[in-house]
Amino acid sequence: MTVLERLAATVEARKGADPDSSWTAKLLARGPEKCAEKFGEEAVEAIIEAVRGDRARLASEAADVLYHLLVMLAARDVTLAEVMAVLETREGTSGIAEKAGRG
């Protein structure tokens, strides 16, 4: 199991946990809209570091983005496995070919 899969399992397990002892449970208790907003904030923080070019800070912000992505997905009952399955269907298809083939 990868660290991302373990984190997804932890996030899933936090559904219904005590918001006073779990940041994940606190976020989930505030609803999917708040989880989405939080994901957006973390994404913006990662964008800022990408523009600045600080590799270590970008890696750290990217970790925040991945964690908050998992929380946002969990809030809408979308599993990491579902996302990975979508990525798998795209394997081997160039983004350029995919765009050209759109109706």
Ligand X SMILES: N=c1c2ncn([C@@H]3O[C@H](COP(=O)(O)OP(=O)(O)OP(=O)(O)O)[C@@H](O)[C@H]3O)c2ncn1[C@@H]1O[C@H](COP(=O)(O)O)[C@@H](O)[C@H]1O
Out of 67, 69, 75, 80, name the contact with ligand X by CB under 6 A: 67
Looking at the Cβ atoms of 33 and 98, the one nearer to ligand X is: 33
Q: Please state the closest distance from residue 82 (CB atom) to ligand X, in A.
A: 20
> Residue 13: enclosing H or E segment and its boundaries?
helix 3-13
Work out whether 37 is an interface residue with ligand X (CB under 6 A): no
**Residue among 31 and 90 whose Cβ is closer to ligand X:** 31
Nearer to ligand X, 47 or 85 (CB): 47
Within 10 A of 18 (CB to CB), how many other CB atoms are there? 10
| 46 is an interface residue for ligand X by CB under 6 A | no
Work out the angle between the directed axes of helices 3-13 and 80-90 (0-180°, nearest 10).
140
Long-range contacts of 39-46 (CB under 8 A, 24+ apart): 39/65, 39/68, 39/69, 39/71, 39/72, 42/67, 42/68
Q: Under the rule (CB under 6 A), what is the footprint of ligand X? A: 7, 10, 14, 22-25, 64, 67
